[in-house]
Copies of this chain bind each other. A is one copy, B any other.
Amino acid sequence: MKALLLVAHGSRRAESNAEVGRLADELRARAGAEFGWVGHAFLELAEPSIAQGMGQAAAAGAEELLVLPYFLSAGRHVVKDIPDEVALGLGEQPQLRVSVAPYLGAMPGVSDLLLATALRLSAGGA
């Protein structure tokens, strides 16, 4: 079974963390047959951690896990901290096959999304 783990930075503001949870809920509701489990995790300041999220996915029966970094730029968090945390999680779940997607800011559709939003608002008289 394939699983999806949305990974965000984490915030001291509970509402920001709850936003990430709701986004994961949306992904889960629409993941269809491709992903049998969808969850979220935080790099810091909130739980579950990435390793905990990987444990949850494994406990749910995941054999493959795709990590989706919810980050806008290729800073230290994306380049080093997320891979380090994934490696930590793999120490506990060595059977899990894990891959890490490009971070959100590097996904080819970001400019489409921004432009579509701008055009929609502009047409509405923004």
Rounded to whole Å, the gap between the CB of A104 and the closest CB of chain B is 7
What is the number of residues of chain A that contact chain B, defined by CB distance less than 8 Å?
46
| Selected contact of A27 from candidates B64, B109, B115, CB within 8 Å | B115
What 0/1 pattern do residues 83 to 116 of A give for CB contact below 8 A with B? 0000000000000000101101101011101111
- A interface: dominant SS: mixed
Q: Considering the complex, which residues of chain A in the window 39-74 have a beta carbon less than 8 Å from any beta carbon of chain B?
A: 64, 66, 68, 70-74
Q: Are B115 and A30 in contact (CB under 8 A)?
A: yes
Return A9 CB to nearest CB of chain B, in Å: 8
Query: Among A13, A101, A126, which residue has the most Cβ atoms of chain B within 10 A?
Result: A126
Max count, chain B CB within 10 A of own CB: residue among A71, A73, A75? A73
